[in-house]
Amino acid sequence: GNYFKVALIACFILHLATCWIFKLGTFPLVMMASLTVFFKPQWIRSLFSTVFYSAPQPHEISTRTHPLQRKEWIILCLLALFAVQQLGTPWRPLLYPGNAIWNEMGTKFTWEMGVRDKYCEIELAASDSLGEKTFRIDFDSHLYGKQPNRIMPHPDQVIQFCHYISDKYTDTAFDGVQPIIRANLLCEVNYRGKQQLLDPNVNLASVDPYDWVYLQSILSTLSPLPPALVRQFPW
């Protein structure tokens, strides 16, 4: 009815506004596309009938019940597994040690949207094992667009980038010997002061980015909020 049309227009305005103001990428577009779940069930058939002029017309839907067949049980079980996965995945950060807003472990596909402001700056240096040859790596020159700001808050991605730099300069600058890559990575999260995210003395080119147990040993501990800010932001 008319109320549905008004609500639909309001949702479109909301998502377009968030897309423009907050720069959330494809998220508002996905949410606008998901509004189709509120349409009448036969809307997709009507659409195909209008576009291709060949889709069968919607028939009357029977409301009579019958025992579920094997195929229907399989579909029901798959939908149940999908629901469990969708509900369980956002809780993944609880399975990892440390603070997720600091180490970024398990934060993909979670509901933790907008819970942290994190700003980082990085200095990379490549050197040989004897320290006789050392030079600075221009972090931004190897990346494009928003990639530097997207990579820096994530320790595992910084380590992967250091592997890339090490492989790139092994033959061009270090005569076939893999260089040592160290990072001075300073991050500021949720009103806390800047602090080291990774141990600056560790050769990140030799660290397995998927070994999250060892990663914990080279991550610094997130400093607590000062008492004044705790009183100001009790949540």
b (16+ CB within 10 A) / e for 21-60: eeebeeebeebbeeeeeeeeeeeeeeeeeeeeeeeeeeee
The model's pLDDT over 2-18, given as tens digits with 9 standing for 90+, comes to 888 899 999 999 999 98
Let me know: does 123 contact 140? Beta carbons within 8 Å: no
Q: What pTM does this model have?
A: 0.74
Tell me which of 49-58, 185-194, 217-226 is least confident. Answer: 49-58
Tell me which of 32-41, 44-53, 94-103, 164-173 is least confident. Answer: 44-53
Q: How large is the average pLDDT for residues 92-118?
A: 84
User: Domain residue spans in the chain?
Assistant: 1-55, 70-224
CA–CA separation, 142 vs 126, rounded Å?
A: 14
Contacts with 101 (C-beta within 8 Å, 6 or more apart), sequence order? 107, 112, 115, 116, 118, 189, 190, 222
CA–CA separation, 93 vs 95, rounded Å?
A: 5
The model's pLDDT over 23-65, given as tens digits with 9 standing for 90+, comes to 778 889 999 999 998 888 888 878 777 776 654 555 565 667 7
- Neighbouring C-alpha atoms within 13 Å toward the C-beta of 191: 12
Q: Give the pair of three-digit tokens for residue 218.
A: 């080279």
- Is pLDDT above 90 for 77? yes
Q: Is 104 exposed, middle or buried (0-12, 13-18, 19+ CB in 10 A)?
A: buried
Helix (H) or strand (E) holding 228: helix 227-232
CA–CA separation, 3 vs 37, rounded Å?
A: 16
The model's pLDDT over 111-137, given as tens digits with 9 standing for 90+, comes to 776 778 899 999 999 998 877 888 899
The model's pLDDT over 191-213, given as tens digits with 9 standing for 90+, comes to 888 999 999 999 999 999 999 88
Q: Is 5 exposed, middle or buried (0-12, 13-18, 19+ CB in 10 A)?
A: exposed
Reference 181, options 134, 218, 119, 114; nearest CA is: 134
Q: What is the pLDDT of residue 197?
A: 95
Q: How large is the average pLDDT for residues 66-70?
A: 85
